[in-house]
Amino acid sequence: MDKEALTAVLTDKFGFTSFKPGQAEVLEALTAGKNTLAMLPTGGGKSLIYQMMGNLREGLVVIVTPLLSLMQDQVARLNYAGESKVVALNSTLPQDARRTILRGLNQYKFLFVSPEMLGQTVVQSALRKVKINLLVVDEAHTIVSWGPDFRPDYLALPQVHQKLGQPQLLLLTATATPQMMSNITSPFGLVPEDWFIYRQSVDRPNIYLHTEQLDNEGQKRERLAELVRQLKGPGIVYFSSRKLATSMAEWLRETTGQRVAAYHAGLDTMSRYRIQQQFMLGQIDVITATSAFGMGIDKDDVRYVIHYHLSNDLANYLQEIGRAGRDGEQSAAILLYVPGDETMQLHMIDSTIPTREVIFGYLEKRFGTDEIGKDKANLLDFYTKQGLTADQIADMFDERRQQRQADLARLVGYAKSPSGLRAKLLTHFGDETTGA
Ligand code: ADP
Ligand code: MG
């Protein structure tokens, strides 16, 4: 379909008068039958693309989503827009509710599903009985950034795609380097000519980039309070631990007099939802958060994102600062760094990636699930089922560890640079349109 015809549908069904950059190009490719990987910035309107496809064609749009909260959010948005043929299949539903959904798949236009759920044979057989319009992977960078270390079902997506008879693919992300993009597409085993790749510049000119190096923790804390007092909110401050996010919320509340709340994955669903809503409604000025906060949060007037700690790597950093300034207004991304801050991230890498001792111990049955933890056991079971030997698995994880350390080192390099930040980010993401 050409842009004109697509625009007519856009206006008729969604009430928008024009496409955001990239939407039309991607839709043209999809309606022409191409598998598509689209990298559009946060807030760029990626969901609209699959929503349009649901309206343009027969069959079920299956959307693989990493988080339950994202899934619920998308369903709510579609319902709000008057779309009733939408359902989310997730682990919180009782068994018989899931069965009912699977039996009645025909009546839906959109199905949201986690990669773990999609990995189940019952789900796959139900899907084989219906016509799939499009298989969407939202936040597709998670295939390579989460897959290998703790969401192995992401790595099995190409096999599932095969089992479902290779429906047309739409992979959506806001952050991927050229290398990540090729790592995302190549496992699907499709020839390059079958793909349409759309990359938009990751540059967000309205976000002012700034780094500051401080001598010690005390200085960093004072600087944070100063920034929170001076900057106009609403704002988000990222920490790498739940404990600090919580204690700093209290401290910031006292020292700055602002309304501050902590958000992390250790809170129950209700509290998380409440805080998110209060933030959306402007009843909270500052969120002190772990990386659990943000993906899918649709608040467009966030004025600053401060990193009190480092993210994992530049891709995650970019994703996190991308939550600022979605309305296009002037915003700031500030990274505070004390030499040695990377130690915490290095520990995290060591604790998430199984060591040789753990790998051989588990596979030779000297350790059980209790000793190494359920997540690692799942991961190792997954790779074993894929036919890898203990040696191969160990080598793979060694490589993975080095990769993650190198990615972290690149972010530390960024944190230590006093200037030229935009060029650094853009170069890393293979962006040609270099800004100042
Ligand atoms: P992303 O997933 O890319 O971060 P979303 O799909 O959540 O972004 O969309 C962000 C916002 O943009 C939503 O509020 C959506 O309704 C809006 N939007 C999407 N497409 C358009 C358009 N063509 N014109 C105006 N607003 C749009
Ligand atoms: Mg999105």
pLDDT reading at 14 higher than 70: yes
> At a CB cut-off of 8 Å and minimum separation 6, what does 431 contact?
201, 202, 203, 425
245 pocket-lining for ligand 1 (C-beta < 6 Å):
no
Closest atom of ligand 1 relative to the 298 alpha carbon: 7
300 pocket-lining for ligand 1 (C-beta < 6 Å):
no
10 Å CB burial of residue 374 (0-12, 13-18, 19+) is exposed
Predicted confidence (pLDDT) per residue in 147-199, tens digit:
888 888 999 999 999 999 999 999 999 888 888 899 899 999 888 888 999 99
Percent of the chain at pLDDT > 70 equals 98
What single-letter DSSP state applies at residue 357? H
pLDDT reading at 38 higher than 60: yes
Centre of ligand 2 to C-alpha 68, Å, is: 13
294 pocket-lining for ligand 1 (C-beta < 6 Å):
no
Q: Whose CA is nearest to atom 2 of ligand 1?
A: 46
HSE-up (13 A, CA, CB side) for residue 327:
10
pLDDT reading at 434 higher than 50: no
Rounded Cα distance, 26 and 170, in Å: 9
Q: ∠ at Cα 9 (181, 194), nearest 5°?
A: 30
Q: Which amino acid is at 62?
A: V
Centre of ligand 2 to C-alpha 122, Å, is: 27
Centre of ligand 2 to C-alpha 179, Å, is: 21
Centre of ligand 2 to C-alpha 369, Å, is: 35
User: What pLDDT, on a 0 to 100 scale, did the predictor assign at position 296?
Assistant: 62
Centre of ligand 1 to C-alpha 16, Å, is: 10
pLDDT reading at 292 higher than 60: yes
Rounded Cα distance, 228 and 90, in Å: 38
286 - beta bridge partners? 235, 260
More confident residue, 68 or 223: 223
Mutate to test the pocket of ligand 1, among 39, 47, 171 (most ligand atoms within 8 A of CB): 47
Give the ligand whose atoms come closest to the C-alpha of residue 63. 2
**Are 35 and 194 a contacting pair, CB within 8 Å?**
yes
Percentages helix, strand, coil for the chain, rounded to the nearest 5? 50, 15, 35
22 pocket-lining for ligand 1 (C-beta < 6 Å):
no
**Are 375 and 149 a contacting pair, CB within 8 Å?**
no
Give the ligand whose atoms come closest to the C-alpha of residue 65. 2
Percent of the chain at pLDDT > 90 equals 74
Centre of ligand 1 to C-alpha 139, Å, is: 15
Average pLDDT of the residues in 388-400:
93
What pTM, to 2 d.p., does this model score? Answer: 0.85
Q: In what order do the strands lie in the sheet with 195-199?
A: 86-89, 110-113, 60-64, 132-137, 169-173, 35-39, 195-199
CA distances to 63, 78, 130, 165 from 109, in Å: 11, 11, 11, 19
Label residue 435 by pLDDT band (50, 70, 90): very low
Centre of ligand 1 to C-alpha 47, Å, is: 7
Q: Whose CA is nearest to atom 12 of ligand 1?
A: 45
Q: How far is CA 320 from the centre of its chain?
A: 9
DSSP character string of 99-112: HHHHHTGGG-SEEE
Which residue in the block uniquely carries the two structure tokens 């401050």? 237
Comparing 95-99, 176-180, 211-215, 325-329, the range with the smallest average pLDDT is 176-180
Closest atom of ligand 1 relative to the 44 alpha carbon: 3
CA distances to 1, 10, 34, 40 from 4, in Å: 8, 10, 19, 21
Q: Whose CA is nearest to atom 1 of ligand 1?
A: 43
- Find, among 247, 324, 231, 304, the residue nearest to 42 by Cα: 324
- Find, among 99, 90, 88, the residue nearest to 62 by Cα: 88
User: What pLDDT, on a 0 to 100 scale, did the predictor assign at position 126?
Assistant: 97
Provide the 10 A C-beta neighbour count for residue 135.
24
Predicted confidence (pLDDT) per residue in 121-130, tens digit:
999 999 999 9
Rounded Cα distance, 111 and 102, in Å: 10
Rounded Cα distance, 68 and 114, in Å: 8
Helix (H) or strand (E) holding 331: strand 331-337
Provide the 10 A C-beta neighbour count for residue 132.
19
Centre of ligand 1 to C-alpha 48, Å, is: 6
Mutate to test the pocket of ligand 1, among 6, 48, 53 (most ligand atoms within 8 A of CB): 48
Q: Which amino acid is at 136?
A: V
Helix (H) or strand (E) holding 212: strand 207-213
User: What pLDDT, on a 0 to 100 scale, did the predictor assign at position 432?
Assistant: 67
Closest atom of ligand 1 relative to the 46 alpha carbon: 3
**Are 380 and 362 a contacting pair, CB within 8 Å?**
yes
Give the ligand whose atoms come closest to the C-alpha of residue 71. 2
Q: Whose CA is nearest to atom 16 of ligand 1?
A: 45
User: What does pLDDT average to over the chain?
Assistant: 92
Give the ligand whose atoms come closest to the C-alpha of residue 10. 1
User: What pLDDT, on a 0 to 100 scale, did the predictor assign at position 278?
Assistant: 94
Give the ligand whose atoms come closest to the C-alpha of residue 40. 1
Comparing 39-43, 158-162, 222-226, 301-305, the range with the smallest average pLDDT is 39-43
Rounded Cα distance, 4 and 277, in Å: 37
150 pocket-lining for ligand 1 (C-beta < 6 Å):
no
298 pocket-lining for ligand 1 (C-beta < 6 Å):
yes
Give the ligand whose atoms come closest to the C-alpha of residue 67. 2
77 pocket-lining for ligand 1 (C-beta < 6 Å):
no
Q: Whose CA is nearest to atom 17 of ligand 1?
A: 45
Comparing 37-41, 63-67, 93-97, 174-178, the range with the smallest average pLDDT is 174-178
Predicted confidence (pLDDT) per residue in 352-374, tens digit:
899 999 999 999 999 999 999 98
Centre of ligand 1 to C-alpha 263, Å, is: 24
Predicted confidence (pLDDT) per residue in 82-92, tens digit:
888 999 998 88
- Find, among 257, 260, 261, the residue nearest to 229 by Cα: 257
pLDDT reading at 433 higher than 60: no
Q: How far is CA 246 from the centre of its chain?
A: 23
Average pLDDT of the residues in 223-246:
96
User: What pLDDT, on a 0 to 100 scale, did the predictor assign at position 436?
Assistant: 38
**Are 172 and 385 a contacting pair, CB within 8 Å?**
no
Tokens of 419: 């200037």
Centre of ligand 2 to C-alpha 45, Å, is: 7
